[in-house]
Amino acid sequence: MRGRLGGRRRIVTLVRVPAAVLVVAVALCGALRAQGPAPPGAGNVGVTSGDIEHTVARLVNGRLVAAAPCVAAEGPLDAALDWRVTATGPHQVMLPRQIQVGSADWNRVAPRLLALADRREPELRLAAKSTSTVPRFLDWVFVGDARGDPRYYFETSRRIPSPPVDPDTADTDPPGTLRIAVSGFARIDSKGATPLGTKGELRWEEDGRPRGPIRPDLRPLGIVLTATDVVWVMEGRTPAASTVSLFSVGARGTTLLVTTRIGRC
């Protein structure tokens, strides 16, 4: 093709490109665009009570990271506030099931989880000769059957009342109960319970104080299924704040991904 530009002759050569090459180029451009940053709101995990909603984690480079370490709330939290989990993008949300005391499932898993807690207590350096004879109770059990692989969250405790004291004696602690708690995640099969991440705590509970609603130390709110992880969303509650934590519970253990405090920052 010949033409003139600014009075000077130029030669433009047209090259015929096969249609298949154009198709490949278009496909590559589309793939590159697809690999770019996720748009705002894609892959978020949060909690809602219906009236208010807070984003707890965001999907960044395929991993859930904290959206904010603390979210300020106006005034004290309502004791009856009940969160549920929300998720956007590719995530799916399922609800864990609480196993009821005395049910067939309870009778099947309780001996295995109590035996696991008995094994873990000395390893966590909580056992002593004076406490080893105190009965242990299975307080709470939840199960999530994600992708055909049931995993359990449990809480157990021993409760040891303080010895009687003379109320007229100065510098005496008020009567209370020492609580030795072992909790965590586990897998259960015919051979017993395999720990996937457990912890132990000593707690002093002063007698006579109102305890508020009876609830687990960590209450499962929901389970988020990502492309690679099974993530349990757990809540710890105090009168001043709600702490929401995300745990990735895998075949080999448990990893804390995110912790966000909702309340006073």
* In a domain? residue 71: yes
Q: Mean pLDDT across the stretch 224-243?
A: 91
Q: Is residue 33 part of a domain?
A: no
52 has a pLDDT exceeding 80: yes
pLDDT digits (tens, 9 = 90+) for 172-216: 667 788 888 999 999 999 889 999 999 998 888 877 665 555 889
The tokens for 265 are 């920052």
One-letter identity of residue 251: A
Q: What is the pLDDT of residue 125?
A: 74
Reported in sequence order, the residue ranges of 133-229 that DSSP labels E, i.e. its strands, are: 136-146, 149-161, 176-189, 192-206, 219-225
Same domain? For 252 and 126 the reply is: yes
> Quick one: 158 and 200 in the same domain?
yes
Q: Is residue 34 in a domain?
A: no
Domains contained in the chain, number? 2
Quote the pLDDT of residue 15.
36
23 and 52 share a domain?
Answer: no
Phi (first) and psi of residue 206, to 5 degrees: -70, 130
- Domain with 22, as residue range(s), is 2-27
Of 25, 40, 139, 124, the closest CA to residue 89 belongs to: 40
Whether the per-residue pLDDT at 154 is higher than 90: the answer is yes
The listed range with the strongest mean pLDDT (45-54, 119-128, 204-213) is 45-54
pTM: 0.78
Band (pLDDT 50/70/90 cuts) for residue 264 is confident
Domain match, 19 and 51 both: no
Portion of the chain with pLDDT greater than 90, in percent:
43
- Of 25 and 116, the structure prediction assigns the larger pLDDT to 116
Per-residue confidence (pLDDT) for residue 165, from 0 to 100: 65
Same domain, 87 and 147: yes
User: 214 phi and psi, to 5 degrees?
Assistant: -75, 120
